Homo-oligomer: A and B are copies of this chain.
Amino acid sequence: MDYAPRPDDSLFLIDTVLGAPAQLAALPAFADSADAALMRQVLEEAGRFVGEVVAPLNRTGDEIGCRFDNGAVVSPPGFKEAYQAFWQAGWPALSAAVEDGGQGLPAVLDAVLYEWLSGANHGFTMAPGLLHGAYECLRHHGSEELKARYLSKIATGEWLATMALTEAHAGSDLGRVRTRATPQADGSVLLSGSKIFISGGEHDLTDNIVHLVLCRLPDAPEGPKGLSLVLAPKVLEDGTRNAIHCERIEEKMGLHGSPTCVLRFDEARGWLVGEAGKGLNAMFVMMNAARLHVALQGIGTLDAAWQKAHAYAQERQQMRVPGATGAEPSLIAEHPAIARILDTQRAWIDGGRLIAYRTGLQLDLARHAPEPKLRERAQRWCALVTPILKAACTQQGFEGASACLQVFGGHGYVREWGVEQHVRDVRVAMIYEGTNEIQAIDLLVRKVLPDGGAALSAVLLELRDELDASREADADAQRRLAQLRYLGTSVAMAAQANPRLPYEVADDFLRVTMLGLMAWAWARIEAHSGTDDARWQAPAAAFRRHVLPEFEMRLGLVKRAAEGVLGAHAQPPGAALARQ
């Protein structure tokens, strides 16, 4: 029972709810390439490729997995052929610029493609998963010479790319990276050091692999400001192998289809990308898109687990539901406990999707809107909403896939139906691209507090203005968005008195903000779907009944912590907002 993308569901959100085609068509970059019909055509084609070529390899990827053979990595059967077909069909290049060999289509379509790829085969998806970031990084920071040699290979996916950041003693704390880069007379550098957890650090999917390596030049200051970024290819231009050695691949809980490598750089040849000491800057270019894709891994995997659980619940019979007539046992889908699991996970998938697709659209606006104000507004959205999505959707991907496993009873715990693989595979998404705890700190400490909550408030007002207060769900969402604005201001004030406080409430703050965004999302979905449309009404009801109550709980947790610092009756300047 393989996962199958459902283009109609995604198109309903992108087209009907978000009105993306009209927004994109207003951008000169997409004047010819963003009408609803073309978007449908692209997504239907993508859905076929993902469903027919990528999804059937998922179990092989898990069971056979990648094999380490004396420095080389052998991909699971079928992966190489599928990847070659994937890049030759142009999928990695979907949103890359036409002048770099790309198709110049909107990033929002990329978002949908990666969600589907992740649902179909998370392990396979890791291979092209870093291409887009590497492309953006090189495009913005690479020298003309480097771009001439590597940019179009990466844009098209003919060569794959890695991000080589982590070292054994430097995980979340990249400032401690020790890999050395020694400048050479010809302008190149020689890299020495060891990196761990490098996804796709070695493999046989493509002829070459382009590594982007975080490292330190001689005499660089300690800490993050001493970091530089160096491009080092597996195969040099003269066809010789660079001195980059894969020492082993990790035995992991899941994601066996993707090799997680230990790489040793042994005076490996490379070239600086961007300025010396600005390595983290150069990397941050790719951060929002990469984090959005990780969020979509959570959503895609959850959808895949949901599809399996839903199909099983429609065919498995056990016991009779209360009030059932006749002697036959009922479908388990009719039992309230099972229906609750399925509808609640559906609420997370579609609510999370709408916010993620909107973020994909904001990436397009941030890049291509002609007015600086519009670009800034879109950048503000991406900066604030991306960490929220990354943390909340990967957590739900894991917990929700486990809930879907539960629908199968004992059959979920064995390999048979493939649902336990989703639970194992997706767990890592809560960790990589910045752990979920780091996302929460990024949101609150780095994005919300510096301006006293003003940027967050602006994003929330944007959403408020899209809602129609005469509708009940919309009015409820507006009330919650106002509460969040007030909360941001309160925490910003409290943080001045107690700098430790934001770190203590960061996880709850991220979570309550996600639930507020979900309230906006479901109000909008309900407004655009008919009241008799069971596809959307059942998850909408489950959202209100089973998901949204957590909003008050988290709000209370953060509020009490802030009030503990400010005094319960203190009125931050933003207090009036809560009553708007």
Does A238 make an interface contact (CB < 8 A)? no
Does A71 make an interface contact (CB < 8 A)? no
Q: How far is the CB of A212 from chain B (nearest CB, A)?
A: 18
Does A557 make an interface contact (CB < 8 A)? yes
Contacts of A424 in B (CB 8 A): 253, 424
Most buried by B among A175, A329, A409, A415: A409
Question: Which of B399, B431, B556 lies in contact with A399, CB distance below 8 A?
Answer: B399
Contact A253 B322 (CB under 8 A): no
CA distance A411 to B166 in the complex (A): 11
CA distance A436 to B550 in the complex (A): 21
Contact B430 A406 (CB under 8 A): yes
CA distance A416 to B252 in the complex (A): 9
Interface size class of A (residues with CB under 8 A): 35 or more
Q: A197-B410, A337-B441 are in contact. Are A499 and B323 (CB under 8 A)?
A: yes
Q: A171-B409, A399-B399 are in contact. Are A504 and B336 (CB under 8 A)?
A: yes
CA distance A176 to B176 in the complex (A): 62
Question: Which of B337, B413, B420 lies in contact with A437, CB distance below 8 A?
Answer: B337
Q: How far is the CB of A118 from chain B (nearest CB, A)?
A: 17
Does A272 make an interface contact (CB < 8 A)? no
* A interface secondary structure, majority: helix
Contacts of A337 in B (CB 8 A): 437, 440-441, 503, 506-507
Does A493 make an interface contact (CB < 8 A)? no
Quick one: which of A139-182 are within 8 Å of B by CB? Answer: 166, 170-173, 175-176
Does A553 make an interface contact (CB < 8 A)? yes
Does A405 make an interface contact (CB < 8 A)? yes
Contact A329 B173 (CB under 8 A): yes
Contacts of A33 in B (CB 8 A): none
Q: A437-B338, A503-B322, A503-B337 are in contact. Are A405 and B432 (CB under 8 A)?
A: no
Contact B412 A431 (CB under 8 A): yes
Q: How far is the CB of A268 from chain B (nearest CB, A)?
A: 23
Q: Mark A499-515, 1 if CB is under 8 A from B, else 0.
A: 11001101100000000
Quick one: which of A272-301 are within 8 Å of B by CB? Answer: none
Q: How far is the CB of A182 from chain B (nearest CB, A)?
A: 25
Question: Which of B340, B507, B552 lies in contact with A507, CB distance below 8 A?
Answer: B340
A341 (CB) vs chain B CBs: closest residue: B437
Copies in the complex: 2
Question: Which of B172, B329, B430, B553 lies in contact with A549, CB distance below 8 A?
Answer: B553
Quick one: which of A318-340 are within 8 Å of B by CB? Answer: 318-319, 321-323, 329, 335-338, 340
Q: Mark A435-462, 1 if CB is under 8 A from B, else 0.
A: 1110011000000000000000000000
Contact B441 A413 (CB under 8 A): no
Does A250 make an interface contact (CB < 8 A)? yes
Contacts of A440 in B (CB 8 A): 337
Does A304 make an interface contact (CB < 8 A)? no
Does A260 make an interface contact (CB < 8 A)? yes
Does A428 make an interface contact (CB < 8 A)? yes
Q: How far is the CB of A363 from chain B (nearest CB, A)?
A: 26
Contacts of A441 in B (CB 8 A): 337
Question: Which of B166, B252, B415, B550 lies in contact with A413, CB distance below 8 A?
Answer: B252
Contact B435 A406 (CB under 8 A): yes
Does A389 make an interface contact (CB < 8 A)? no
Q: A424-B253, A503-B336 are in contact. Are A318 and B172 (CB under 8 A)?
A: yes
Does A469 make an interface contact (CB < 8 A)? no
Contacts of A176 in B (CB 8 A): 318, 329
CA distance A549 to B505 in the complex (A): 14
CA distance A430 to B413 in the complex (A): 10
Q: A176-B329, A338-B437 are in contact. Are A323 and B414 (CB under 8 A)?
A: no
Does A427 make an interface contact (CB < 8 A)? yes
Quick one: which of A541-566 are within 8 Å of B by CB? Answer: 545-546, 549-550, 552-553, 556-557
Does A423 make an interface contact (CB < 8 A)? yes
Does A398 make an interface contact (CB < 8 A)? yes
Q: How far is the CB of A112 from chain B (nearest CB, A)?
A: 27
A166 (CB) vs chain B CBs: closest residue: B410
Contact B405 A427 (CB under 8 A): yes
Q: How far is the CB of A386 from chain B (nearest CB, A)?
A: 19
Q: How far is the CB of A148 from chain B (nearest CB, A)?
A: 35
CA distance A175 to B317 in the complex (A): 12
14 CB-based A-B contacts, threshold 8 Å: A172-B318, A173-B318, A197-B410, A250-B415, A251-B415, A252-B414, A252-B420, A322-B499, A323-B500, A337-B437, A337-B507, A398-B402, A406-B437, A545-B557
**Interface contacts beyond A337-B503, A410-B428: sample of 13 additional A-B pairs, CB < 8 Å, sorted by A:** A173-B329, A175-B319, A176-B318, A196-B410, A251-B414, A253-B413, A253-B414, A253-B420, A323-B499, A336-B500, A336-B506, A406-B437, A409-B435
Instruction: State the A residues within 8 Å of B (CB).
Output: 166, 170-173, 175-176, 196-197, 250-253, 260, 317-319, 321-323, 329, 335-338, 340, 398-399, 402, 405-406, 409-416, 420, 423-424, 427-428, 430-432, 435-437, 440-441, 499-500, 503-504, 506-507, 545-546, 549-550, 552-553, 556-557
